[in-house]
Structure 1
Amino acid sequence: MSVSILSNRVLMVILSLTLALLCVSVELAAQVLPPNNCSNVFRYERWGFGWIGIIVPEYNGLTRMDWTLKFSAHGYGSSGQVSQMALYPNRTAAYQNIFQGGRAECYVTFQNYGSELPKIIYAQLNGQVLCTAIEYGAPSLTITRSIKVSIPTRTPVVSSNGSGGNTDITVARSGGSGGAKPIITVNTGTRDENPATDKCGMEGLVGLLIGGETLPHGRFPWMAALYHDDDPDPKKLSLTYKCVATLISSRTVVTAAHCIWEKQPEEMRVYVGRHDLDTHPETGATLMEIQSAFTHPDFVGNLVPDSDIGLLIFTTHVQESNYVRAICMWTSSTLLSNGGVEDATIGGWGNDENGKPTRFPKAAVVQTVSRETCLREMVSAKDFLTPRTLCAGNKKAHGPCLGDSGAGLMIQRNGRWMLRAIVSLAQRSGDTCDLTKYVIYSDVASHLRWIESKIVR
């Protein structure tokens, strides 16, 4: 009798499990995957009896990830939930992938969504928008999830030589994990963000240069400082400030070719968000490693403004902030006003009127002039003036000097700043510059096709 009852109970349990599995199988079979406009970085995948969404960078070797994802789901009162983002399949495996130069994946889980999963409509990594899609019409709900992962691979030890602009930064390099502890912060709240491309050329608060105004931190967030590595020891990094660079995308800066000529990528670093050259580390500033360097093919080491332009490509994307943002690029359809005579702004950390390095960047307003005017007033510079150069100056003799090479000449259009030219040459006067003469720039407008062939966004 008892054996018969036990057998019946076992049969009932088996039957119940079978029915549950059948229900789950039917539910999974009926699951409708939404359109995926982010298939290059995001995929839906089954996880046990449910579904997850996995996000993965398009490139290897990232040691810092700042993901923001947005999903759109039908209905306001749905019981469905999107979990907080986490490392996939777990932290240990993800960190190991990063240390080995691979890609660390992250994921979210979808719970109680019935037959239709939320649609991904936005993915952003380290300030770069990777994909977008149109959200569902009303009634619908937008869910935002984000995660920040940072794995430090080196410990900076800073020393200053007390010379203002010539500060050495020593960074001890280490291979593998080096015992560094990964840092992970998670933000599961919802927030609206505009794509980074909508923010180019937007300056910060208003408060290089000889006689110019000192800039507050972040007014021109595309201004960056270029450093050279002067330490022959491959295990150390000793940096000396050299030139100004301008951020034109999340991975690219433009500078003067003579600032990077015959330098290998590992011999240079760029400090984005830089302001105070005497402070290390500096709030809002990040020291970027260089993956590749390009000088214009017509530049062969002789200082000729006609082709004095170069690009540096970072190994990773910058993190956009109040202190770091790209300038808008000049376009082939954008023209100078009034026959080439127009107000422009130039900024940098160059020497002051006494030939001394500056600690904080300065800016000055200058005026572009026609090539004919420049030729007429600077006859001695006629061999340097071509259709691919531009001249600018002002009556106050304010403008760029030694240490401002590579700085961008900026012109404002409809509330946005655009990069028009790069500082190349100025008339020398003893230990300083004769700014009663025009400064000669490499004209970005003449090199747009070359820049577009090399820029990495």
Structure 2
Amino acid sequence: MIVATSFLLVLGPLSLTLALRIPPNPCPDVFSYNRVSFGKEVFGRVQIPYDGASKLNLHLNASFAGSFERPNNVQIKLTTPPNPATSGSTKKLLYNVYFPYQDVIPRITLIRYNGKVFCAGPQEPLVSGTAGVTNTWTSHQYFFFNDRGAAQNEAEPPIESEIDAANLDQDKLVPVGADSELDLKSNGKEGECGIASTAIVPLVLGGEELSDGVFPWLVAMFVVKGNGYEYKCTANLISDRHVVTAARCVQYYKVRIVKTEDILLVFGKADVGRWATNGAITREASDVRTHPEYDQGGAHGDVCVITLNNAVEFSRNIAPVCLWTGEETLDKVVGDDGSVAGWGVSSDAKRSVSPNANFVSVPIVATDQCLFSNLTYATITSDMTFCAGRRDGKGPCIGDSGAGFVLNRHGKFYLRGLASLTLSDEGGHCDLRNFAVFCDVARCKDWILSAMRKYS
């Protein structure tokens, strides 16, 4: 079906005839509010200069005035997909944006295409006495195959197979607070992060048990329940004052469900079944920050930085993992095996967390492979997530939220992702015949570092 662009009218004075409030537009050069002639439905249009890529990823944030439980039904449609044979002649990409409600038109707060921000603006203001503000996000992914049989971004430089250890930025590898320095003298590796024990068993659900110190950055997060504590999530030590876990461990949509003072973090022990009597190191939380773009309905922005009330002293069993450094693009790590460790269920039939941490090795898979494997992934993934797994029944499950996905680079482990979501079968069990979805730490690293510096 051919749609003539003359049928599209930019809203301005027309907004009065529609009796709708059209929010301020932060970037009229790339975005406009429109409606079909003689129609009532308002939609948005995005115009982005085409960069010649064969993988197109458009991400859009929006802010609604009011409280909505499920605002993430904003839909994006690419109306001018490039033709592989004539993509060089394409000058602009045109996207239509369809809103879930017509009585409340959202304000656009971010438009990002292939990692570049084209538009940014403030969210809807919070007005006293109103129902509040709801923020949401959505993304659209499109690719085509070139004459070499693969979808590639010709604008990107050649992909290197390994990170060059000689050129690693140590300030980025070892994230610390403004007034602290890492000290790993007891490990014999002063100033280093990501050093794991060599006694790693070759193999979370279907994994193998860990012993103390194998992954010394592993942290068990407990929360107050009654007169005691209950295991909640897996977390990861990234400095002597900070751990990182999944936002869903402390927040439901925009509502905080765990109080800062109710959090207890246990360090240095793979077996946390008797942490209170086995000499484990514990700390309370002094501050909790979740990513501003987090939405319960997907893995986008599913990251949380927790600041400890007191710094921990590093030892053989307690040491930080390195934050990811180098390129953010997934192309460079697709197919690489990463380790995921946590205290999630060891047998999904039992549906109870394991007292001993388990870990499993799973590969990162290409985004298009993940999306084509199950339609559900289109609603829970974004440009800030990745999929991983072998679809063999092994992987993160209930209780593994926040578990780190770490990649070994030249003998050091780097945190690339955080376990967020798995699909479920008809019985409500983890369906690891499908891929697991992780929040991509590489895409959130700037926010993580900012939170660490501000709340050290």
TM-score, with structure 2 as normaliser = 0.55
The one of 211, 219, 223 aligned to 2:214: 219
Does 1:442 pair with 2:446? no
Unaligned 5+ segments in structure 2 are 1-176
Q: Which of the pair is proportionally richer in helix?
A: 1
Give the equivalent residue in structure 2 for 1:455.
452
Does 1:378 pair with 2:374? yes
Following superposition of structure 1 onto structure 2, how do residues 90-105 of structure 1 map, counting pairs within 5 Å? none
Shift of 1:225: 0.5
SS in 1 for 2:300: helix
Would the aligned equivalents of 2:186 and 2:316 in 1 still touch at CA under 8 Å? no
CA distance in 2, matches of 1:225, 1:212: 17
Give the equivalent residue in structure 1 for 2:262.
267
Give the equivalent residue in structure 1 for 2:135.
none
Q: Please provide the CA RMSD for this pair.
A: 2.8
Shift of 1:341: 2.1
Shift of 1:337: 6.4
Following superposition of structure 1 onto structure 2, how do residues 110-259 of structure 1 map, counting pairs within 5 Å? 198-204=191-197, 205-207=199-201, 209-231=204-226, 238-259=228-249
The one of 346, 350, 365 aligned to 1:352: 346
Does 1:310 pair with 2:304? yes
Question: After the TM superposition, which segments of 4 or more aligned residues of structure 1 sit over 4 Å from their partners?
Answer: 127-132, 192-197, 334-339
Shift of 1:319: 1.3
Quick one: which amino acid aligns to residue 230 of structure 1?
Answer: K
CA distance in 2, matches of 1:196, 1:316: 23
Distance 1:288 1:407, change over 3 A: same
Quick one: which amino acid aligns to residue 248 of structure 1?
Answer: I
Quick one: which amino acid aligns to residue 258 of structure 1?
Answer: R
The one of 266, 289, 294 aligned to 2:289: 294
SS in 2 for 1:209: coil
CA distance in 2, matches of 1:360, 1:285: 13
Would the aligned equivalents of 1:339 and 1:370 in 2 still touch at CA under 8 Å? no
Give the equivalent residue in structure 1 for 2:409.
413
Quick one: which amino acid aligns to residue 441 of structure 2?
Answer: V
CA distance in 2, matches of 1:194, 1:213: 24
CA distance in 2, matches of 1:439, 1:131: 35
Quick one: which amino acid aligns to residue 222 of structure 1?
Answer: W
SS in 2 for 1:437: coil
Quick one: which amino acid aligns to residue 346 of structure 1?
Answer: V
User: Bigger radius of gyration, 1 or 2?
Assistant: 1
Would the aligned equivalents of 2:391 and 2:434 in 1 still touch at CA under 8 Å? no
SS in 2 for 1:289: strand
Would the aligned equivalents of 2:242 and 2:306 in 1 still touch at CA under 8 Å? yes
Shift of 1:238: 2.1
SS in 2 for 1:382: helix
Would the aligned equivalents of 1:128 and 1:250 in 2 still touch at CA under 8 Å? no
SS in 2 for 1:325: coil
| 1:257-278 deviation digits (Å, cap 9, x = unpaired) | 0101112210111111132122
CA distance in 1, matches of 2:334, 2:277: 39
Shift of 1:283: 4.3
Shift of 1:432: 2.5
Shift of 1:280: 3.3
Quick one: which amino acid aligns to residue 228 of structure 2?
Answer: S
TM-score, with structure 1 as normaliser = 0.54
CA distance in 2, matches of 1:271, 1:304: 28
Task: Report sequence identity in percent.
Answer: 30
The number of aligned residues is 268
CA distance in 2, matches of 1:322, 1:339: 29
